[in-house]
Structure 1
């Protein structure tokens, strides 16, 4: 099967219910070997249980492919698949890579050095000062930032990068037609127009809780390294950092006050081998090796 047809099939599969990232990769592998598989055979290759098999098969036949293609085109939403040359090489080699990414904006940002920056959803003056100290020199070295467009540090990362004239990539855990949190709508639209906005979820996908750990693997997987500004001992930021560690990427952490719960996570990362960051040079010397 030609790549174009496989991409269209991947688009079709991404609109289906009852399957996730791992299932789509299994189905893609099966289709490369045999492009004539039925929906039921694909469900078997993906090892779906009976409930998800029914969900998948029912949704597979209900997708109006031409109508869906026109809808995405009208909303200027494009996609790339793991089969495309433009698919990020670093992301391709993570555990459980997304088979397809929907995007708006400038795909050439994938060619820059990418640094994930994450932190607490409750912005503190310390976190803001740390970003103010670190970001300008990183941006001057043409490092593009990657974050999750959440409240707090994520939002600050994107905004400060833009204010400094840098480039930023936002990874969200909803369809590209959702704004979550709603207060970030203006920022998300700016990133989609002038930078790069990415999701593995189709239009209409709501902000379900389990989507965000999945989003974090893309944040970590795209990037050469992950910088954690502030984090509680158990937090989404630490999930992202641990995913980066699992993929052999650099993990950086800003140390904090040992009595502050929002420094517990970063201090623990440093204790267990993350690089302690006191200046931009501590990041640049690792990324430029």
Structure 2
């Protein structure tokens, strides 16, 4: 077994290890890659990672994930790892990239020009009307629309893209055998079959609050630009936009009315340098592959 194969097996083992986060998992993987001759014992691992109150949880899951156990768990799942040639190149360069991308659908969509469209879960008719103006034009220009398969702006973005004959990618914060929220089930099933749904979490992984900002880094990472619609001051969509800026991607914001505060996050983005968008051309002229 060569070193690359050993690292791949370690990577898959770490995917199923609880009790530590992605940063510590990368510390373990990087140590194993750099010091291949040192046996990777639990004692060695403990000395190389940040202290964690869940060390006992990690030890239990580490011991549980034997090669046979992993083979059984992974046999009915499609995935690419960080070491796969199909792994998106732009994801390799973000902080703590996903170790694995589990997927259903057409993985080749990752090779196309992609635009993230995110915004309010409690979207107003204004958001839908804006998307109805933008999405059909973007679709005709061969843009693949990326979003988070949530309610509101995410759902409308996927729905309109499919309705106008385009392709779309959804990134979720749970295993691909689960649909959250349940209201998006019909489009979730359609996308798993004819588009692409991604997750860094294996099957049987439930939804947890901290999974959503983690998911957002993937949305921003695989997209050439991020467009925000109806984001409040403390919206999760602003996390995606901030990450996009950190990754050197284009960020676009749709202005809205100022009374309700529904778009105050978008207005703040514009003040901070995001491009103010009022027509579809405003987006395409900034994307590198257009």
TM-score relative to the length of structure 2 = 0.93
Match of 2:149 in 1: 149
- Tell me the matched-pair count: 286
Match of 1:276 in 2: 276
Match of 2:244 in 1: 244
Moved over 6 A (4+): none
Q: Deviations over 1:45-73 (max 9, x none)?
A: 22343x33221111111124434433433
Match of 1:186 in 2: 186
Q: Deviations over 1:131-177 (max 9, x none)?
A: 11111111111111111111111011111111111111111111112
> Which runs of no fewer than 5 residues in structure 2 stay unpaired?
none
- Give yes or no for the alignment of 1:30 onto 2:31: yes
- Give yes or no for the alignment of 1:17 onto 2:18: yes
Q: CA deviation at 1:8?
A: 2.3
Aligned pair in 2 of structure 1 residues 40, 78: CA closer, same or farther (>3 Å)?
Answer: farther
Q: How does 1:211-250 map to 2 (within 5 A)?
A: 211-250=211-250
Q: Deviations over 1:7-54 (max 9, x none)?
A: 2221111111112211121111112123431233233322343x3322
Match of 1:55 in 2: 57
State the alpha-carbon separation in 1 of the partners of residues 136 and 150 from structure 2. Answer: 21
| Secondary structure in structure 1 of the residue aligned to 2:137 | helix
Q: Contact conserved, 1:115 with 1:144, CA < 8 A, in 2?
A: yes
State the alpha-carbon separation in 1 of the partners of residues 21 and 9 from structure 2. Answer: 17
| Secondary structure in structure 2 of the residue aligned to 1:251 | strand
Q: CA deviation at 1:226?
A: 0.3
State the alpha-carbon separation in 1 of the partners of residues 239 and 159 from structure 2. Answer: 23
Q: Contact conserved, 1:40 with 1:53, CA < 8 A, in 2?
A: no
Q: Deviations over 1:67-94 (max 9, x none)?
A: 44334333xx222122222111111111
Q: Contact conserved, 1:103 with 1:198, CA < 8 A, in 2?
A: yes
State the alpha-carbon separation in 2 of the partners of residues 270 and 61 from structure 1. Answer: 50
Q: Contact conserved, 1:116 with 1:147, CA < 8 A, in 2?
A: yes
Q: CA deviation at 1:186?
A: 2.1
The farther-off stretch of 236-245 and 200-209 is 200-209
Q: CA deviation at 1:126?
A: 0.7
State the alpha-carbon separation in 2 of the partners of residues 125 and 78 from structure 1. Answer: 37
- Give yes or no for the alignment of 1:66 onto 2:68: yes
Match of 1:208 in 2: 208
Aligned pair in 2 of structure 1 residues 44, 185: CA closer, same or farther (>3 Å)?
Answer: farther
Q: Contact conserved, 1:238 with 1:265, CA < 8 A, in 2?
A: yes
State the alpha-carbon separation in 2 of the partners of residues 193 and 43 from structure 1. Answer: 42
State the alpha-carbon separation in 2 of the partners of residues 65 and 230 from structure 1. Answer: 47
State the alpha-carbon separation in 1 of the partners of residues 66 and 15 from structure 2. Answer: 13
Q: Deviations over 1:84-121 (max 9, x none)?
A: 22111111111221122211121111100111100000
In terms of fraction of residues, the more helix-rich structure is 1
| Secondary structure in structure 2 of the residue aligned to 1:286 | coil
